[in-house]
Amino acid sequence: MHSITTQDISNLEKMATTLRFLCADIVQEANSGHPGTPMGLAEFATTLSYHINLNPKNPKWLNRDRLVFSGGHASALLYSLLHLWGFDLSLDDLKSFRTLHSKTPGHPESSLTQGVEITTGPLGQGIANAVGFAMAAKYAQNLLSKSVISHKVYCFCGDGDLQEGISYEAASLAGKYKLSDLIIIYDSNSITIEGDTRLAFDENVKLRFEAQGFDVLLCDGHNFLDIQEAIIAAKSNTTKPTLIIAKTIIGKGAIGLEGSEKTHGSPLGENVIAESKKAANFPQEKFHIPDDVRFWFQNTQEKMQSLEALWEKSLDSSAKTMLESLRNPDVASIQYPQFTIGESIATRASNGQILNAIAAKLQGFIGGSADLAPSNNTTIKNSGDFPHGKNFHFGIREHAMGAICNGIANYGLFLPFCATFFVFSDYMSPSVRVASIMKSRVFYIWTHDSIGVGEDGATHQPIEQLGHFRAMPNLLVFRPADANENIACWQVALESSAPCAFVLSRQNLPVLEVCDKSKISKGGYIIKDASNPQSPQITLIATGSEVALALECAKALESESITTRVVSVPCFDLLIQQDKSYIDSLLGGKVLGIEAARGLEWFRFCDEVVCMQDFGHSAKGEIVFQHCGFTIANITNKAKTLLNTH
């Protein structure tokens, strides 16, 4: 559809009006939600329907266009479109908006609703997700060719998305990497919850995005000819990402409320909807969809089934082989490095060798660091840089990096990893949380894991982060004790269906015994049993760098005839999934936890915990450990005191 006739405009107006009131009815039925943005975007969404390539019969078709709603509160519009386009979302599903166990939750969730590409909640995340989709597509083009991967990535966003800092980070990367298949549609209605955006936001968005390397187009978001021209121009751009600034009116068509912030987050009310439908000469019936409108919406997608068939037919044998290897990575073929028991190596360093071993066998294992690759040990050797190689340079942009990796993971071909210092994981937390909700397979490499960081001081020494991420459902947090545990942790992680984090030491640690992944799969195991395994007087539980310390403490206690068991727990999250009998088999006598972090979660198992009571200090790592009580003398004294406590 490249030219619009008078009849086309008449049809488009009827489609947009239907879409507008369908969204209003959805929100009103739930008595909860956000009608303003969906109503304001009705014309743009209707026009986009004639351009976007999707196949409702196969929602996971690889070469489909991706559509992201960064403003997830506009979910009523997304659900209405999916229904009208012919996805598996019924009218009854629309009527169940925001109800328990429905396919139409308040914000889009990819695991619940067919056609929803990615879960978007916090504002700004979706822009970075869309950049992630576009980066994945660009990398895929270089693997498979532009004839195989030729789709677009569309993203609806609003003023709130652009005020969040993550949008600056993500757009900067999109411009840097010239992601020409990315089209961001900015719903510029100049309204946020508190009122006019000028209260807190009056920058020149056009100049901002142009400075970041975007082509910026302006259009009247209610004028079909303007919208059509902008979309065609954006699709034709082969050198830059595009931002379309669509000037719209929030709550368009809502009598008495049009243009008001009152339409943002509350139902319009039955009377307003009735008056608005009357003014638009639209039937009063709730959820009314005229037959011709339903036909027009679904007819735009009928071509997609034949288009996908032609695409499948065009794939040559090499493309099919590559796609098979990407979709079904052969993790059993990975040849992990070998480490010598007794040698000394930081887990960040052993992890670097492991990453390279994985990348050598898995074509889809890609990623990078937030400008810390030399410290994180995350460079994939002899591989080159994105978009042609596996090494992604995210720059100092942890927030966007996390959300971009969510997009890469949800693209359907790749296993992304991303890295930074553990203390800066705070910047990534919203993205990690959304990945955990989706169970997206993202691998986080977080190095410099404790007070062992040393001289950089309290600002760089993570204390509370371990507890925070262990508390996050669906996220597996691994803190390996040594290089061999590190290998086994990766073996478990690559077979899991959840996002995984690796929390790794800066300082060198002794290589301990070879560790089987079956031990890691249960979260914790006995790494050294007591001289009398049937009745240990005390059990020391430790993770990461503190395991070696616990083993030294056990020697000291055993020398004083105190039977001592040591349990290594590389993954607290997996341990708490085990049945009581297994956990009881690990613990004997009094239980003392040792961890150079806040450690409050260990009281679930321990009688006492040697942990951090405050933030860290600036000094050499070993001195900070001594000052904070992580010494053989202090821990053995704690153990003996605990034994004497009744």
The CATH number of whichever domain residue 364 belongs to comes to: 3.40.50.970
The reply to whether 333 falls in a domain is no
Same domain, 250 and 152: yes
Domain membership of residue 623 (yes or no) is yes
Q: Please report whether residue 317 resides in a domain.
A: no
- The helix-helix angle for 398-411 and 165-176 (nearest 10°) equals 60
Region 534-563: mean pLDDT is 98
Residue 388 among known ligand-binding residues = no
pLDDT in tens, 170-191: 999 999 999 999 999 999 999 9
Taking the C-alpha atoms of residue 347 and residue 494, their distance in angstroms, rounded to an integer, is 18
- 300 vs 355, more confident: 355
C-alpha–C-alpha distance, residues 40 and 407, integer Å: 27
User: Is there a domain that residue 321 lies in?
Assistant: no
With beta carbons less than 8 A apart as the criterion, state whether 115 and 59 touch.
yes
pLDDT at residue 3, as a whole number: 66
Which amino acid does the sequence have at 40?
G
The full length of the chain comes to 646
* Domain assignment of residue 394, yes or no: yes
Same domain, 84 and 209: yes
Same-domain status, 355 and 253: no
**133: annotated binding-site residue?**
no
Judge whether 154 lies within some domain.
Answer: yes
Strands of the sheet with 443-447, listed across from one edge = 391-393, 365-369, 415-421, 443-447, 500-503, 476-478
Last residue of one domain, picked from the residues 515, 536, 560: 515
- Pairwise CA distance, residues 264 & 16, whole Å: 19
Give the confidence band of 305 by pLDDT, cuts at 50, 70, 90.
confident
- Do 614 and 574 share a structural domain? yes
Are 437 and 586 contained in the same domain?
no
Does 334 fall in a domain? no
498 CB burial (10 A radius; 0-12, 13-18, 19+): middle
Give yes or no: residues 255 and 136 share one domain.
Answer: yes
> Is residue 348 a known part of a binding site?
yes
Whether residues 155 and 203 fall in one domain:
yes
Give the three-class secondary structure for 160: helix
Evaluate whether 638 touches 631 at the Cβ level (below 8 Å). Answer: no
Reported as type and span, the H/E element at residue 174 is helix 165-176
Whether residue 272 sits in one domain with residue 127: yes
Judge whether 288 is annotated as a binding position: no
Q: What is the mean pLDDT of residues 487-503?
A: 98
- Indicate whether 380 and 268 sit together in one domain: no
Q: How many domains does the chain have?
A: 3
Phi, psi at 225, each rounded to 5°: -65, -45
Estimate to the nearest angstrom the gap between the alpha carbon of 576 and the chain centroid. 24
Contact, 449 vs 422, CB < 8 A?
yes
Cβ(386)–Cβ(178) under 8 Å? no
The pLDDT assigned to 302 comes to: 67
Q: Are residues 279 and 229 in the same domain?
A: yes
The pTM (predicted TM-score) of the whole model is 0.97
With CA atoms as reference, report the closest residue to 499 among 576, 411, 402.
Answer: 402
Q: Give tens-digit pLDDT for 236-286.
A: 999 999 999 999 999 999 999 999 999 999 999 999 999 999 999 999 999
Choose one of 486, 515, 544: the last residue of a domain.
515
Question: Residue 458 class from Cβ within 10 Å (0-12 exposed, 13-18 middle, 19+ buried)?
Answer: middle
Strands 590-594 and 608-610: parallel
Torsion, Cα of 131, 329, 443, 369 (10° steps): -60
Residue from 205, 572, 164, 224 nearest 403 by CA: 164
Helix (H) or strand (E) holding 517: helix 517-520
Does residue 646 surpass a pLDDT of 80?
no
What percentage of the chain reaches a pLDDT higher than 90? 96
Which CATH number do you get for residue 585? Answer: 3.40.50.920
Other CB atoms closer than 10 Å to residue 542's CB: what's the count?
Answer: 29
Q: How much is the average pLDDT of 523-547?
A: 97
Give the tokens for residue 337: 């490095």
Active site residue 601: no
Residue 29 token pair: 């039925």
- Cis omega (within 30 of 0) on the bond before 387? yes
DSSP bridge pairs for 26: none
What residue numbers bound the domain in which 270 lies? Answer: 6-20+29-310
> Does the pLDDT at position 160 exceed 60?
yes
Asked if residue 460 belongs to a known ligand binding site, the reply is yes
151 annotated to a ligand binding site: no
- Among 493, 515, 537, the domain boundary falls at 515
Q: Is 73 annotated as a binding residue?
A: yes
Taken in order 491, 494, 495, 499, is the CA torsion positive or negative?
A: positive
Residue 196 lies in a domain: yes
Q: What is the mean pLDDT of residues 194-204?
A: 94
Mean pLDDT score across all residues of the chain? 96
Please answer whether residues 178 and 239 qualify as being in contact, where contact means their C-beta atoms are separated by less than 8 angstroms: yes
N- to C-terminal Cα separation, the chain? 81
Q: CA–CA separation, 212 vs 418, rounded Å?
A: 23
Is 51 labelled a binding residue? no
* Residue 62 and residue 165 in one domain: yes
201 annotated as a binding-site residue: no
Q: Which helix (H) or strand (E) holds 419?
A: strand 415-421
- Going from the C-alpha of 455 to that of each of 34, 451, 622, the distances in angstroms are 49, 9, 10
The per-residue pLDDT for 48 is 96
Structure tokens at 470: 């262990």
Q: How do 509-510 and 153-158 pair as beta strands?
A: unpaired
424 is in an annotated binding site: yes
**Whole-number pLDDT of residue 2:** 55
- Give the active site residue among 43, 117, 261, 398: 398
Q: Which helix (H) or strand (E) holds 202?
A: none
Residue 306 binned pLDDT confidence (cut-offs 50, 70, 90): confident
State yes or no: 123 annotated in a binding site: yes
* Statement to judge: residues 457 and 501 lie in one domain: yes
